[in-house]
Structure formats: structure tokens, C-alpha cells
């Protein structure tokens, strides 16, 4: 059995372990949170290195890919240095591939089930610096996109309309931000469990499609999500019920739901790496895409209301 362990600096309330067979190979997928304790996370990676086939790096990522540039987090590099033997994925290797497939599947679903199209629908992407591939997929899908990096990250009431603007902002701000503690950039630990505090209501209300990291979407989401579609990453069964009560129309997760839980792209990348019989240094994007299509690793589309 292949063992895949995602150690997350996020909340332990989102922990989950399951077994699933991929291409005839049984895999154990486990997610363990450290409630925001970065030091504990680094130590767990060191302790479990070589005892699992692949690690998923949860709640953080090694770098942000914006356009053709990569911005590496100083804090997170400590995790990479702690891992000497096991393969490791932070999601960056597959995130863009899975996000693009999710919007293609959603377009097909709307065409066939509702006689609708994503083209022209107003959409909100919470932040594009950590979901640039999703931003590209949303633009390619024809969505009328509003990007919330300045709102959701810096608290400034300034919407962005173009990915080119995001690239300029990233070049100016990320060299500084990536050298700060990661917790300044993203909610960790118990911060992820707080009830939503509605904010930026105008932008939530005018959007028919909400995209981005689920923790960010949830942080400020309103009580009423009637008729809306969310395209996101990890959601628990509790999250799904929370969205159902808010009357969300469709929930799309870019990874499949396994036993009531969709795992993050870091877990899926780690699983794919564990299934590949080659050194991680030789793995290409084509290898990932071929394996994704062979399994196949499909997005989960769930009509809630």
C-alpha cells in the first residue's frame, strides 16, 4: 500500500484519513493539521521522512506562480529542507491542470443540465496570486472576472479586473510578502474555524461564480448564496452542509470527493508522485496530465440546491 501523508499548518478539525484504489494500487491518504504550529509541522516532516511514499504540503506552498514568475516563501523552504527521502508535493505541480479541468467540466454540466454557459457570467476570484492558474481558466471560460487580491489579502476596497494587473502587483509586493511569516499572508490554525464574517458583500452579491481557496471564500461569505456556484479546493462534509444551508446552487471541487471529503491539490499531487515509478526530479507536467487522465482524476460537481 502506498502511504500519502499531508501535514498541514491548518486546523486539525479538518483532519481525515481514507483508503482508495487508484489504477489497481491501494493508497492511504491522510491529512493531519498542526493548528498553526509551524515548528511542529517541520518536525513532523522530519520525523516521518522515509516512512511514507509521499508528503503533501498542506496549508502552505513552496512558491506562488504568477504568470511566468515564481515567488518562493522563505518560511516554507524549511519544510523542503526537512524532507530528504520521501517525495513531496505542495499542489503547484497539478493545481493549474485540475482547475482547468474543473471549469471545462462545469461548462459541460451547465450546457447539458441547465442549457446555460459560463460565458459572460460575473465571477469573483478571491485571490489570483495563489490561484493564477484558476484565474487563467476563468478567463478562458469567458467569465466576467473580478479579482480580489487587494481586498482579501490587504483589506483594500479595490477590485482588479485583469490578470496583467495581478502580475504587476505581484512583482511589486510578493518579493516582500514572501519574506514575511506565512501567517501574515494566510489564515492558519483556529483562524480557519471562525464563523464567516460577511464582508465585501457587493462583490459576493454581483458574482454568479465564486472561485478561489475555500478558507478565503468562507471567511467573508454572506448568509445567502442563492443561485451561486463555488469552484474551490478542499471542503469537508461540514463545509458542504454550511453551504447547503446558505442555499448555494452548485459546489465544484477540483479534486474528487473521497468519503465525504475532497482533499487538497497537495494530496492529489503527492498521490500521483507515489504512483509514478520514477524519481521526482524527472517528473514532468505531461507525466502528471497522463496519469490524471488515466485514473481519471475528475472534479466533483455537486448540486446542493
Cα angle: 119, vertex 261, 38; to 5 degrees:
100
139, 164 contact by CB (below 8 A): no
Q: Name the residue ranges covered by the structural domains of the chain.
A: 2-91+262-298, 95-257
Fold of 95-257: Rossmann fold (3.40.50)
Least confident of 121-125, 142-146, 191-195, 251-255: 191-195
Asked whether the predicted pLDDT for residue 190 surpasses 60, the reply is no
Asked whether the predicted pLDDT for residue 103 surpasses 70, the reply is yes
Query: What's the rounded mean pLDDT across residues 152-176?
Result: 95
pTM tops 0.85: yes
Question: Alpha helices of the chain — where are they, by DSSP H?
Answer: 38-48, 77-82, 95-109, 132-140, 149-152, 163-177, 201-206, 214-220, 237-245, 265-275, 285-294
Residue 123 confidence (pLDDT): 98
Asked whether the predicted pLDDT for residue 138 surpasses 90, the reply is yes
Q: How confident is the model at residue 187 (pLDDT cuts 50, 70, 90)?
A: low
pLDDT higher for 121 or 10? Answer: 121
Residue matched to cell numbers 463545509: 239
Predicted confidence (pLDDT) per residue in 247-291, tens digit: 999 999 999 877 766 778 999 999 999 999 999 999 999 999 999
Residue 182 confidence (pLDDT): 72
Residue 206 confidence (pLDDT): 97
Q: How confident is the model at residue 186 (pLDDT cuts 50, 70, 90)?
A: low
218, 239 contact by CB (below 8 A): yes
Asked whether the predicted pLDDT for residue 13 surpasses 70, the reply is yes
Percent of the chain with pLDDT over 70: 96
Q: How confident is the model at residue 100 (pLDDT cuts 50, 70, 90)?
A: very high
Integer CA distances (angstroms), 8 to 165, 166, 295, in order: 31, 27, 26
Count of Cβ atoms closer than 10 Å to residue 21 Cβ: 9
* Helix (H), strand (E) at residue 266: helix 265-275
Q: How confident is the model at residue 188 (pLDDT cuts 50, 70, 90)?
A: low
Percent of the chain with pLDDT over 90: 81
Q: How confident is the model at residue 160 (pLDDT cuts 50, 70, 90)?
A: very high
Amino acid at each position: 500500500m502506498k502511504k500519502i501523508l499531508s501535514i498541514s499548518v491548518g486546523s486539525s478539525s479538518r483532519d481525515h484519513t481514507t483508503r482508495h484504489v487508484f489504477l489497481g494500487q491501494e493508497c492511504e491518504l491522510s491529512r493531519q493539521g498542526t493548528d498553526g504550529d509551524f515548528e511542529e509541522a517541520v518536525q513532523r516532516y522530519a520525523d516521518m521522512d522515509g516512512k511514507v511514499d509521499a508528503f503533501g504540503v498542506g496549508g502552505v506552498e513552496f512558491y506562488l506562480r504568477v504568470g511566468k514568475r515564481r515567488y518562493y516563501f522563505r518560511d516554507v523552504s524549511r519544510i523542503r529542507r526537512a524532507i530528504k527521502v520521501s517525495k513531496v508535493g505542495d499542489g503547484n505541480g497539478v493545481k493549474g491542470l485540475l482547475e482547468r479541468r474543473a471549469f471545462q467540466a462545469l461548462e459541460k454540466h451547465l450546457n447539458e443540465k441547465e442549457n446555460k454557459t459560463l460565458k459572460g457570467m460575473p465571477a469573483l476570484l478571491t485571490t489570483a496570486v495563489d490561484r493564477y492558474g484558476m484565474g487563467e481558466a476563468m478567463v478562458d471560460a469567458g467569465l466576467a472576472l473580478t479579482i480580489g487580491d487587494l481586498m482579501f489579502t490587504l483589506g483594500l476596497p479595490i477590485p482588479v479586473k485583469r490578470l496583467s494587473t495581478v502580475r504587476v502587483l505581484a512583482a511589486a509586493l510578493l518579493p516582500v510578502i514572501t519574506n514575511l511569516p506565512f501567517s501574515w499572508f494566510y489564515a492558519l490554525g483556529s483562524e480557519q474555524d471562525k464563523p464567516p464574517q460577511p464582508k465585501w458583500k457587493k462583490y459576493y452579491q454581483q458574482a454568479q461564480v465564486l472561485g478561489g481557496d475555500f478558507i478565503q471564500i468562507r471567511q467573508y461569505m454572506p448568509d445567502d448564496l442563492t443561485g451561486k456556484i463555488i469552484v474551490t479546493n478542499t471542503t469537508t462534509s461540514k463545509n458542504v452542509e454550511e453551504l447547503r444551508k446558505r442555499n448555494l446552487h452548485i459546489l465544484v471541487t477540483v479534486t474528487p470527493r473521497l468519503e465525504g471529503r475532497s482533499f487538497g491539490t497537495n494530496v492529489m499531487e503527492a498521490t500521483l508522485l507515489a504512483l509514478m515509478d520514477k524519481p521526482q526530479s524527472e517528473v514532468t507536467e505531461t507525466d502528471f496530465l497522463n496519469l490524471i487522465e488515466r485514473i481519471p482524476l475528475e472534479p466533483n460537481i455537486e448540486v446542493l440546491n
